[in-house]
Amino acid sequence: MRRPHRIVDGVLLERRSIVLLLLAPLLTLSLIFAAIGPGRPPDLAGISGRRRNPPPPPPPPRLAYMISGTAGDGARVRRLLRALYHPRNYYLLHLDLAAPPHERADLEELVRAEPALREFRNVRLVGSANPVSDKGPTMIGCTLHGVAILLREFADWSWFINLSASDYPLMSQDDILHIFSYLPRDLNFIEHTSNIGWREYQRARPIIVDPALYISNKTDVFWTKEKRSMPSSFKIFVGSSWVVLSRRFLEFCIWGWDNLPRTLLMYYTNFLSSSEGYFHTVICNSQDFQNTTVNNDLRFMMWDNPPRQHPMNLTSNHFDLMIESGAPFAHAFVKDDPVLDRIDLELLRRPKGRFTPGGWCIGSNLFGRDPCTIYGRPGAIRPTTTSRRLEKLILRLLDSENFRPKQCK
């Protein structure tokens, strides 16, 4: 008998233990990534090329996704969840306080009604919506809240990935899980730099107040007249808001065994666009984690020249560049842009309104049937040749010429 759904602390809860069984074939990213020592890069010798007697592949990790949206994003979040879904992973959905109640109710109904989501019980919905301002600290507060929920609800995920409703995957979860199987679980993919340039006078020195901390209406931040000096006890780092962070690092941010994460959280409360600096500054000022960073966010983006605050909206004109990048995700798309249908058809092989097929889908696709209506072992991974693109990107990022020289300088 299935256990009923229940809401605890504003979170739609579903519990089910997931069977750990591995059937993923070995691709060319073999045993290169043993634990990374603090003073040396990974040994990349002998990665490319197959071995005659390859060892069995390591077990695939579990990924914890947080998908966020605002008013009008309910349908986009549903589509993104279907494109990203895999029974091995975990998903937290959040529509901020600006979203109307019916959009939140539609997501809750999807979680309750979709057979696969009921069966594997790996999707949560934040019931108590958070107010979020794009430029204020409420965005990083919302992310930390989501991380805390994922840490509480699921004990065995390896990486956290934040996505917005305007993001979309460029490859299946089987391909991503397959390549991530060979990575050390303590790596953190986070674009960062201490060369903050113009941000010193436009973001670090100004003091801002985020009204969303105090009122429910979504309003823009405002500036105080006073300026502040640059901190001397830590160095500021900035970068992309989009990250792939290890569980161990996020446990440090939530439960921190020293005071650094809490000190920096107070500092970034009055920092413009704090989501572009908080995790970056914490990780690069921590001796335990500063050598675990890979200076890339694993997203494909296009920027104007000179770059504006936000990247360009992606279209079919960028399709080939997305593929060539090897990135597993892309940002950002306009709602229902035709390029999303092309990604579904050519890259994900996902029919409209269905899940991206993978090794867990064992039904027949004859006569247009959905193979994911019948599902087998959630640990079954069936990567495609698309995974080679991500493998090539990871190899380039972890090459000795790129890995250490680009860490927290």
Confidence band (pLDDT; 50, 70, 90) for 35? very low
Is the confidence at residue 3, as pLDDT, over 50? Answer: no
Q: Give me the amino acid identity at 368.
A: G
Section 14-21 average pLDDT: 30
pLDDT of residue 95: 96
What pLDDT, in 10s, does the model give residues 222-243?
888 889 899 999 999 999 999 9
Confidence of residue 46 (pLDDT cuts 50, 70, 90): very low
- Which has the higher per-residue pLDDT, 212 or 302? 302
> Residue 54: which pLDDT band, with cuts at 50, 70 and 90?
low
Residues in Cβ contact with 275 at an 8 Å cutoff, skipping those fewer than 6 apart: 139, 140, 143, 241
Per-residue model confidence (pLDDT) at position 36: 39
Asked if the peptide bond before residue 34 counts as cis, ω within 30 degrees of 0, the response is no
Torsion-angle region of residue 61: left (phi > 0), alpha (psi -120 to 50) or beta? beta
Contact between 194 and 406 (Cβ < 8 Å): no
Closest CA to 41 of 178, 187, 182, 185: 187
> What digits encode the pLDDT tens for the residues 189-222?
999 999 988 888 888 888 888 877 777 666 678 8
* Whole-number Cα distances in Å, 248 to 13, 18, 321: 23, 21, 33
How far is residue 93's CA from residue 84's CA, in Å, rounded to a whole number?
A: 12
Report the pLDDT averaged over residues 26-55. 43
Q: Answer yes or no: pTM beyond 0.85.
A: yes
Instruction: Give the count of beta carbons closer than 10 Å to the beta carbon of residue 338.
Output: 10
Which range has the worst mean pLDDT, 4-18, 161-175, 185-199, 229-243?
Answer: 4-18
Is it the case that residue 5 has pLDDT exceeding 80? no
Q: What pLDDT, on the 0 to 100 scale, is given for residue 217? A: 66
pLDDT at 177 over 90: yes
Q: What is the pLDDT of residue 256?
A: 82
Q: Determine the pLDDT at residue 12.
A: 39
Q: Could you give the strand order of the β-sheet that contains 188-189, starting from the edge strand earlier in sequence? A: 6-8, 11-13, 123-126, 90-95, 63-69, 159-164, 244-246, 188-189, 293-294
Between 22 and 312, the higher pLDDT residue: 312
Predicted local distance difference test score (pLDDT) of residue 219:
66
Q: pLDDT value at position 307?
A: 67
Does the pLDDT value for residue 363 go beyond 50? Answer: yes
Cα torsion at 97, 102, 108, 113 (round to 10°)? -170
Task: Report pLDDT digits (tens) over 71-116.
Answer: 999 999 999 999 999 999 999 999 999 899 999 999 999 999 999 9
Per-residue pLDDT, 223 = 81
- Percent residues over pLDDT 90 in the chain: 65
The residues facing 92 across adjacent strands are 66, 124
